Amino acid sequence: MGIKQKKAFKKNLKKANSKSLVSANKNDSVDFLPLEGGPGRKLPQEKPPVNKATVLYIGRIPHGFYEKEMQAFFSQFGVIKRLRIARNKKTGKSKHFGFIEFQDPEVAEVVADTMQGYLLFEHLLQVHLILPENVHLKLWKGFNPRYKPVDSVQVERKRQNKERTLMEHKKLVDKILKHDQKRRKRIEAAGIEYECPEIVGGIMPTPKRIKFNED
């Protein structure tokens, strides 16, 4: 090998070494190399998920801790947009769970972390965040904090005192007489000497005749 050839070989060797160093530095910053060769690829950096949940589920609410008390207690954390306690439609009694919506998601997250397992009137509160996609569309629909339960006694009184037709009255009397016969049989089977009083009003009332003028 001549002198010129040696110089050319050393020059090419330096170029190859410099290229390998550059490629090695590039590969250090990449996450993986493709199987078929070529430049390395870096995985996209995943951004941390942004918390947008503002609705909280609150379970095991004690008796006496209702809308006004919850509004006053949880307002110390931040602004409350809406608040609801699940109640029985007939009796109006609390079902011991409810929902609170805060204005800021950061406040809702702090409340969930702070109040989970909080001891309140011998009850351990269960507080959880509800993701926006899991919030029911009708959660706040028709909600009225001044909701008055249906007076079932008044409804039943109206049903019993309503004006009945002749057929409805006959069915009612037949039902009462049938129940009375079963009662008499049970008393006789027990060997008890007892004369059951006769049911007053068991006779069907005769309907009033309508008089028409002969003119």
Residues in the chain: 215
Q: How many helices (H) and strands (E) does the chain have?
A: 5, 6
0.75 exceeded by pTM:
no
For residue 133, pLDDT beyond 80: yes
Question: In this structure, what is the dihedral angle of CA atoms 26, 28, 32, 36, given to the nearest 10 degrees?
Answer: 40
Closest CA to 79 of 112, 103, 110: 103
Phi/psi of residue 62, nearest 5 degrees? -75, 160
For residue 23, pLDDT beyond 80: no
Distance CA 135, CA 139 (A): 7
Q: What pLDDT, in 10s, does the model give residues 42-85?
A: 666 667 777 789 999 999 999 999 999 999 999 999 999 999 99
Higher pLDDT, 27 or 71: 71
> What percentage of the chain exceeds 90 in pLDDT?
33
Quote the strand ranges of 32-166, DSSP E: 55-59, 80-87, 94-102, 119-120, 123-124, 126-130
